[in-house]
Amino acid sequence: MSVAIQLAGVSLGYPTAGGPRPVLSNINLNIRSSETLALVGRSGSGKTTLLNLAAGLLTPTRGSVTFSASPRVGYVFQDARLLPWLTLQANLKLVCPPEFHADIPQALARVGLAGREQDHPGQLSLGMAQRAAVARALVIRPDVLLLDEPSGALDELTASELRVELASLLQVQPATTLLVTHHPTEAVQLADRIAVLGGQPATLTRLIEVPLAHPRDPDDPALLDFVRQLRLHLRQPEAV
Ligand SMILES: Nc1ncnc2c1ncn2[C@@H]1O[C@H](COP(=O)(O)OP(=O)(O)OP(=O)(O)O)[C@@H](O)[C@H]1O
């Protein structure tokens, strides 16, 4: 089962000493079951806040967030957040119910970490640790997968490898996926639609369909054309 999420008239302000500071204003967004939706926008525009609202981790100040069913949520943070004193096997075990424990070796193998169950995070490169974090999110077979700049801490080559892996994992194990990214190529390579946030407080300034077949080649001229348009829109929202 995969889950659709509906955000209707969602606004959110964080409490401050001087009263609530509005971050998001009147967001209307229907996230379709099993689609990958990328959230892009300038730093501080409210992408992570929207991700946490869609996960049910934050409650809107106004409006509502509705799920088509009660979702099992997998979350990949900007950094791997593995506990250094536990093996990879134990790190994954910590987040998943017993019925998924037998799937841990396969989940690690799917991200290129076959046979590394007994390694500790300190024995991994940054890219390997981030792939372990992806395995940790996927091992529970989430209905909703949240990716908060999953390649943000990686060099470009490792990031592009992770994108290819994510694309193929999403084919094997579909989930309603929200991807926060600063990287236009990442958004266009992975997403079925791209939601652009802009302004202060942020509104949804554009919702772009990406009708290219998966898997996508980042050097495909049609994909590069989308990337160019997205960059233009991010620089000058009113000009596209
Ligand atoms: N827990 C919090 N309490 C108060 N303000 C917060 C909190 N979390 C985020 N903010 C503020 O909300 C705004 C949006 O933050 P958010 O992290 O959602 O943006 P973002 O688009 O994900 O940023 P980035 O791309 O830099 O990660 C920022 O001004 C930030 O300072």
Specify the pTM.
0.92
CB 47 less than 6 A from any atom of ligand 1: yes
Atom of ligand 1 nearest to the CA of 45: 21
- Provide the pLDDT for residue 240: 44
Which residue's C-alpha comes closest to atom 4 of ligand 1?
14
Q: What is the pLDDT of residue 26?
A: 96
Q: Are 185 and 227 in contact (CB under 8 A)?
A: yes
> Cβ(36)–Cβ(209) under 8 Å?
no
3-state helix, strand, coil in the chain (%, to 5): 35, 25, 40
d(CA 191, CA 177): 9
Question: How many helices (H) and strands (E) would you count in the chain?
Answer: 7, 9
- Joined tokens for residue 83: 């506990």
- Closest-lying ligand 1 atom to the alpha carbon of residue 202: 14
Q: What is the pLDDT of residue 153?
A: 80
Taking the CA atoms of residue 3, residue 9, residue 15 and residue 19 in that order, the dihedral angle to the nearest 10 degrees is: 180
Residue 39, phi then psi, degrees to nearest 5: -110, 120
Q: Is 17 in the pocket of ligand 1 (CB under 6 A)?
A: no
CATH level 3 topology of 5-72+143-239 = Rossmann fold (3.40.50)
Q: To which residue do tokens 């889950």 refer?
A: 3
Domain residue ranges of the chain, discontinuous segments joined by +: 5-72+143-239, 82-141
What lies within 8 Å, CB to CB, of 63 at 6+ separation is 7, 8, 9, 10, 11, 26, 27
Low-confidence ranges of the chain (pLDDT < 70): 1-2, 237-240
Evaluate: CB of 45 within 6 angstroms of ligand 1: yes
Using CA atoms, how far apart are residues 73 and 136, in angstroms rounded to an integer? 11
Q: Report the half-sphere exposure of 187 (CA within 13 A, side-chain side).
A: 26
| Cα-to-chain-centroid distance, residue 7 | 17
pLDDT digits (tens, 9 = 90+) for 131-161: 999 999 999 999 999 999 988 888 888 888 8
Residue 31 one-letter amino acid: I
Residue 212 is classified by DSSP as P
Residue whose CA lies nearest to ligand 1 atom number 17: 48
The residue whose C-alpha atom lies closest to atom 25 belonging to ligand 1 is: 43
What the block records as the tokens of 228 is: 């160019």
Q: Output the pLDDT for position 238.
A: 60
By alpha-carbon position, which residue is closest to atom 3 of ligand 1?
14
